[in-house]
């Protein structure tokens, strides 16, 4: 099962095709906005498999880590919620 990256605009303009690819080919899409990953689209069947399979959860976690932004300058400050 493939995991593809797609911009939010392209996903919006081709939503029917994306849904067909997800449901028929079990493709997973990571939707990016301004170059940053925002959401993942996957079929209900794939979600069910993912929830019940530790190895698959680890594979998806690795993909998401690799797509996550890395900040080289400065340090991350903990923001207090009010």
Q: How do residues 28-60 score in pLDDT, each as one tens digit?
A: 999 999 988 889 999 999 888 888 888 888 887
Sequence-separated (6 or more) residues with CB below 8 Å from residue 66: none
78 pLDDT higher than 70 = no
Burial track 16-45 (b if 16+ CB lie within 10 A, e otherwise): eebeebbeeeebbbbbbeeeebeebbbbee
Domains observed in the chain: 3-67 (3.40.1620.10)
pLDDT score at 10: 97
The rounded percent of the chain whose pLDDT value lies above 90 is 44
Q: What value does the mean pLDDT take over residues 57-79?
A: 69
């Amino acid at each position: 099962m493939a995991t593809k990256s797609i911009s939010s605009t392209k996903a919006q303009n081709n939503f029917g095709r994306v849904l067909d690819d997800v449901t028929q080919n079990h493709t997973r899409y990571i939707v990016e906005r301004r170059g940053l990953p925002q959401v993942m689209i996957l079929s209900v069947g794939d979600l069910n498999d993912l929830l019940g399979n530790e190895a698959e959860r680890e594979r998806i976690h690795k993909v998401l880590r690799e797509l996550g932004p890395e900040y080289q300058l400065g340090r991350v400050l903990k923001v207090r919620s009010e």
